[in-house]
Structure 1
Amino acid sequence: MSYQGSFRVWRGDDQSGGLVDYRVEVNEGEVVLDIIHRLQATQAPDLAVRWNCKAGKCGSCSAEINGKPRLLCMTRMSTFTEDETITVTPLRTFPVEKDLVTDVSFNYEKSREIPAFAPPEGVAPGDYRMSQWDVERSQEFRKCIECFLCQDVCHVVRDHEDNKQHFAGPRFLMRITELDMHPLDAADRREAARTEHGIGWCNITKCCTEVCPEHIKITDNALIPLKERVADRYYDPIVWLGNKIRRRST
């Protein structure tokens, strides 16, 4: 079964652009990325779109479909009605390169700001030991495919460009949480999370969790625990008193 679907696709670059209407053939079982490829093949050969695996594992084909951040390759056409106009636009939070391709270098810059895993001194790699509970607690975070949909939907940077310098975003706050939860990581992550990466700016709206294609519970299992760890360290009055007593005794 096939039909002619109505699509509005954003065309342009960082200087100018707008939505262009197309009628494209839709076949049973297809996803939005199939339609974009057919559009390239039949009507718009110069349409720019980033993609790679077409299996929901590389995170390359991130875009906004009807205003919601999604993967083009994981959004089935069967979720829309035949008479519905489907709007495909680039990720709004990042600068447009061309058409549906955006410059996501902001995310790689944030990634480089986070120090790598720091094993304890005197412990050789083959001697690392940790419980299965500790393994499972952070295993969920390693499912991240870095599609940056959570970064795109987070209103802290989506609506406030000036915040990008001081806020790492949910993907990299989740990375900090993963390292901070690791029993063999010797670095103190909480100070940097508070002062450099802006964990206090997150107001746990769960929008990042809602768009995650890997169904990672970013807010509940990463951001809230990290906020609690930071609060315990710096704002718990009992911890504060203990630190005062400890400093006086040394």
Structure 2
Amino acid sequence: MSEQRAANGTAGAYQAHFRVWRGDADGGGLADFRVEVHEGEVVLDVIHRLQATQVPDLAVRWNCKAGKCGSCSAEINGRPRLMCMTRMSVFDRGETLTITPMRTFPVVRDLVTDVSFNYTKAREVPSFVPPEDLGPGEYRMSQEDVGRSQEFRKCIECFLCQNTCHVVRDFEDNKAVFAGPRFLMRVAELDMHPLDAAADSGLDRKRTAQEEHGLGYCNITKCCTEVCPESIRITDNALIPLKERAVDRKYDPLVWLGTRIRRRP
């Protein structure tokens, strides 16, 4: 019997207790399920088995199942995580796993949320401004400058940082004036880019970060950094330096003077 189970891939399988949020924009609640778990599986595997065997109408968003698309974001026992990167082995076998949709965004159905807020904020960040005196293929950067922004390029836009940020999570009114850590990180990346010519075109990224994207609302609790599946140090390497540059622009007399002296040709 044990050889047959091993051949079928069920050796070491056990029954896990899952509580999964079911509902839509009008409301819902947690439903209890017993689901089989196999060795080496992640939470998304078990959710798929739950769909296949018990609740075929369970709505869940996913795509790559490799931690690179950011689609399967949810909250597992209250912590924002990627379901495809959360191994079942990190939980005790007798532990109840509660799976709920991201709390910050409106529920569409079950574990699927409407994350269009983030795409709205993305469109509000002015894009990279290329230097007028350089053509395509002529850009040159030092490795140090490349390394500074390369970390931020690892973002997979899972929006877990946006979801866990209490500025938008706990205060719905702040969404209109606060871009959130993911897009403040984008502003910081562009502001530190040595080839970004935004200032020459009259765009002050430090000013817009403060006045248009709500940088002042961030109180650097580092909750965004803690949930990032790519281990991006959002707070330390993007938000705090951006805050420092914004303060320097506004209150440092030498920086203030420098912004008012035209560059010589």
TM-score (norm 1): 0.96
Partner AA of 1:217 in structure 2? R
CA offset at residue 235 of structure 1?
2.1
Shift of 1:193: 0.2
- The aligned counterpart of 1:224 is 240
Cα deviation per residue 1:139-167 (whole Å; 9 max; x = unaligned)?
Answer: 00000000000000000000000000100
Partners of 1:116 and 1:238 in 2: CA distance: 28
Tell me how far apart the structure 2 counterparts of residues 115 and 35 of structure 1 sit (CA, whole Å): 41
Q: Secondary structure at the match of 1:118?
A: coil
Partner of 1:186: 197
Superposed displacement of residue 120, structure 1: 1.4
**Unmatched tracts of structure 1, length 5 or more:** none
Which residue is 1:233 aligned to? 249
Q: Is 1:176 the equivalent of 2:187?
A: yes
- Name the residue aligned to 2:92: 81
- Which deviates the most, 95-104 or 112-121? 112-121
Tell me, in whole angstroms, the C-alpha distance in 2 between the residues paired with 1:177 and 1:246: 23
**Take 2:146 and 2:259, find their aligned partners in 1: how far apart are those partners?**
34
Q: Is 2:65 the counterpart of 1:49?
A: no
Q: What is the deviation of 1:115?
A: 1.0
Instruction: From the superposition, tell whether residues 233 and 28 of structure 1 become closer, same or farther in structure 2 (CA, over 3 Å).
Output: same
For 2:149, the equivalent position in structure 1 comes to: 138
Work out the number of aligned pairs and report it. 246
Contiguous gaps of at least 5 residues in structure 2 = 1-11, 199-203
CA distance 1:244–1:230, shift in 2 (3 Å):
closer
> Equivalent pairs: percent with the same residue?
76
Q: Mapping of 1:5-84 within 5 angstroms? A: 5-84=16-95
Using the TM superposition, give the Cα deviation of residue 121 of structure 1 relative to its aligned residue in structure 2, in angstroms: 1.3
SS in 1 for 2:137: helix
- RMSD over aligned Cα, in angstroms? 1.4
Instruction: Give the CA deviation at 1:174.
Output: 0.5
TM-score for both structures, normalised by structure 2: 0.90
Distance 2:58 2:259 in 1: 62
Q: Out of 63-72 and 187-196, give the one that drifted further.
A: 187-196
Q: Secondary structure at the match of 1:110?
A: helix
- 1:239 CA drift (Å): 3.4
Moved more, 82-91 or 184-193: 184-193
SS of residue matched to 2:151: helix
